Amino acid sequence: MRRTIFITGIVAGLIIIAMVVFSRIGKMKEAAANYAVAVKGPFEISVSNAGELTAERSVDIMGPDIMQSMQQGPQRGGGGRGGPGMRISSFKIQDIVAEGTEVKAGDYIAQLDRTEYDNSLKTALENQNTLQSNLEMAILDTAVMLTNLRDAIRNQYITVEQAEITLQESRYEPPATIRQAEINLNKQIRALEQRKKNYELQKAKALANIRDKKRLRDEGQELVNTLQHFLSQFTITAPSAGMVIYKEEFNGSKRKSGSTVNPFDRVIATLPDLTSMISTTYVSEIEVNKVKPGQKVNITIDAIPGKTFTGTVTNVANIGEQLGNSESKMFEVIIKVDGNNPELRPAMTTSNKIIINTFDDVVSIPVECVHADADGIPFVYKKNRTKQIVVLGEMNDKHIIIKEGVEPGCNVFVITPEDGSKFRLVGKELIAKSE
């Protein structure tokens, strides 16, 4: 019984000691959390923003050019420029290879829906057959008509000859009979001349009709040829080797199977040049004045953890734009990635740290350690219970340079101490420099 009580007392004592030790450790950690140590060393000022990789150069994979086909189509007789079958309309992507597919020049990329223009070609072919038949019929009709007219002229020659014989035989007849024969001969001669003139007029009219029908036939054939050539472009092939990247619409969606392609924006997909990549990012109007072309950039890729790439700012937009996820104006910044990195792919998300300035050997502390009274003079609370006026330098998003007032290794309060009003003010000689 006594032994049990003794052991219980020892255990209770150990628990109390442990609680005291842990309490002191907690207070020590809490006290340590209230301070920051001024460090001396390199200091970097940067602007960090997310971005997206794209190829600096790319080749567009284009759909059929209906405008060019219309300009090359028949001009008359087919319903206007390009003919009735060359209406301007959008194209639907019926099939397309998967995004990211690597292709060679001439490889299959996509197939557009041919339905509408197949129907137009069918109509054009039927119309062409009709026009060809009309031409052949006009040629036959002309041949028959001119043959009949030539026969009529030959017959009229005979009639004139007969009239001449009659006149010759009537020279011994009474004058009235002779006169009647002369009148008949003149009449037949005039009829012959009229038949000759009529032949030439009918021939010219028939040939003009044939030419017109031939022109219509040729224009119909040209429309057929144009439609056939146009439809041959509905099977899209790669203009060069590369990796297929879908075309991005203005709303952020991508053109894929089932998408509609505007005839005035005929890009089906692109083949980026992966040897030269850029990262496009956006910087707020507050920070944009810090960013200049030529500044170096450290780039990390979400898809390639543990590896850092370098780049250079090549362009900063002069005009900001309102992005959906930002209340302030954002300015586009283009960063060219250094070297040729086969690991990089379009649309990869990047973290871009643009190096604005660097300092080799300066003293810095966390920004939240710096305070200011109503007079705007900066100071810090030191662990030695002094309120030290400081001269500030450049700052980044987390730390600020202290030019004077704080030495390396000095402990300063991160937050205002509860009895800060009792701290002794020192460094008044720095007021003039801190203003």
3-state SS, one letter per residue, for 186-226: HHHHHHHHHHHHHHHHHHHHHHHHHHHHHHHHHHHHHHHHH
In terms of pLDDT, which residue wins out, 143 or 33?
143
Asked if 80 and 72 touch (Cβ cutoff 8 Å), the reply is no
How far, CA to CA in Å, does 278 sit from each of 281, 297, 307?
Answer: 10, 12, 17
Higher pLDDT, 65 or 17: 65
359 vs 65, more confident: 359
Q: What is the pLDDT of residue 86?
A: 60
Eight-class DSSP state of 119: H
Q: What is the pLDDT of residue 8?
A: 53
Specify the pairing of strand 424-426 against strand 386-389: parallel
Question: Rounded to an integer, what distance in angstroms lies between the CA atom of residue 128 and that of residue 85?
Answer: 12
Report the mean per-residue pLDDT for the chain. Answer: 86
Element (H, E) at 62: strand 58-62
Q: CA 291 to CA 313: how far, in whole Å? A: 8
- Report phi then psi at 120, rounded to 5: -65, -40
Handedness of CA 238, 239, 244, 245 (dihedral sign): negative
Q: Is 184 helix (H, G, I), strand (E, B) or coil?
A: helix
H helices, E strands: number in the chain: 5, 23
| 390 pLDDT above the threshold of 70 | yes
Residue 25 has pLDDT above 50, yes or no: no
Q: Residue 96's closest CA among 85, 107, 86, 83?
A: 107
- State phi, psi for 376 to the nearest 5 degrees: 80, 5
Beta bridge partners of 61: 269
Task: Please state, in angstroms and as integers, the Cα–Cα distance from residue 274 to each residue in 180, 281, 347, following that order.
Answer: 103, 19, 12
Residue 30 in this model has a pLDDT that exceeds 70 = no
* Chain centre to alpha carbon of residue 354: 26
For residues 54 and 280, the answer to whether their CB atoms sit within 8 Å is yes
Question: Per-residue pLDDT tens for 225-274?
Answer: 988 888 888 899 999 888 898 888 888 788 889 888 888 888 999 998 88
Position 31 scores a pLDDT of 46
Rounded-to-integer distance, Cα 122 and Cα 93, Å: 22
pLDDT at 373 over 50: yes
Q: Using the structure block, give the residue that is written with the tokens 């150069």.
A: 57
Residue appearing with tokens 């206007």: 80
Fold of 48-55+273-359: Elongation Factor Tu (Ef-tu); domain 3 (2.40.30)
Tell me which DSSP letter residue 82 carries. Answer: T
Rg (CA), the chain: 48
Say if residues 240 and 271 touch (Cβ distance below 8 Å).
Answer: yes
Q: Does domain 58-66+87-108+235-272 have CATH number 1.10.10?
A: no
Q: Are 290 and 129 spatial neighbours (Cβ–Cβ below 8 Å)?
A: no
- Rounded CA separation 427/389 (Å): 5
Report the distance separating Cα 432 and Cα 435, nearest Å.
6
C-alpha angle 132-135-141 in degrees, rounded to nearest 5: 140
d(CA 111, CA 91): 10
**Other CB atoms within 10 A of residue 243 CB:** 19
**Rounded-to-integer distance, Cα 109 and Cα 104, Å:** 10
Question: What's the pTM?
Answer: 0.58
| 113 class by beta-carbon count within 10 Å (0-12 exposed, 13-18 middle, 19+ buried) | middle
Q: How many CA atoms lie within 13 A of 126 on its CB side?
A: 8
Residue spans per domain, the chain: 48-55+273-359, 58-66+87-108+235-272, 114-233
Mean per-residue pLDDT, 89-108: 90
Instruction: Please check whether residue 408 is in contact with residue 39, taking contact to mean a CB–CB distance below 8 angstroms.
Output: yes
pLDDT (0 to 100) of residue 193: 95
Per residue in 289-339, pLDDT (tens digit) is: 999 999 999 999 989 998 999 999 999 999 988 887 777 889 999 999 999
Mind listing the pLDDT tens digit for each residue in 136-177?
Answer: 999 999 999 999 999 999 999 999 999 999 999 988 889 999
**pLDDT tens-digit readout, 112-144:** 988 888 888 899 999 999 999 999 999 999 999
| More reliable by pLDDT, 48 or 5 | 48
